[in-house]
Amino acid sequence: MDVLLATGALLDSVNIIENLLGQAMEVASLHTPIANPMFLFAPDFSPRAPNHRDPAVRARNFRQSRAVVEFCRGVPIPSVTVVPGIDQEGWRHEKSLVATAEALNEFAAIAAAAGVTHARG
């Protein structure tokens, strides 16, 4: 089964980040295989897009993605999808694409280090 990990969803992304081991144990106790969660850093794409213009937002995303892959490893869930970036205001489309590729490559490296596959959104 694929699931959505988002603020306010049944599997709330904030709860996973704040209590990843507790959430992993709760999900594992359901004995329902989860193949690939899609993780959203915020209720919609704009404020926390993986390719956000603000380096502090991107750094926060990377820190939180480590918690997400640890959650996946703890359940266990073999892969995770992080949604791709969006066009950033004031940037050309090509610059947004480059920033997206850089962010997704970083997410893939974080996931791989934890033994989780990063499926690009």
Domain ranges of the chain: 2-120
Q: Are 63 and 107 in contact (CB under 8 A)?
A: no
In degrees and rounded to multiples of 5, residue 49 shows phi and psi of -55, 145
pLDDT of residue 2: 83
CB atoms within 10 A of CB 109: 11
Query: What tens-digit pLDDT sequence spans the chain (121 residues)?
Result: 788 888 888 788 888 888 988 888 888 888 888 888 888 888 777 788 899 999 999 999 999 999 999 999 999 999 999 888 899 999 999 999 999 999 999 999 999 999 999 876 5
d(CA 14, CA 8): 8
Residue-level pLDDT at 83: 81
CB of 74 within 8 A of CB of 24? yes
Q: Of how many residues is the chain composed? A: 121
User: Which CATH number is associated with domain 2-120?
Assistant: 3.20.20.150
Residue 23 CB burial class (10 angstroms; 0-12, 13-18, ≥19):
buried
* pLDDT value for 42: 80
CA 92 → CA 24, 38, 50, 58, 121, distances in Å? 40, 27, 16, 18, 21
State residue 3's pLDDT score: 84
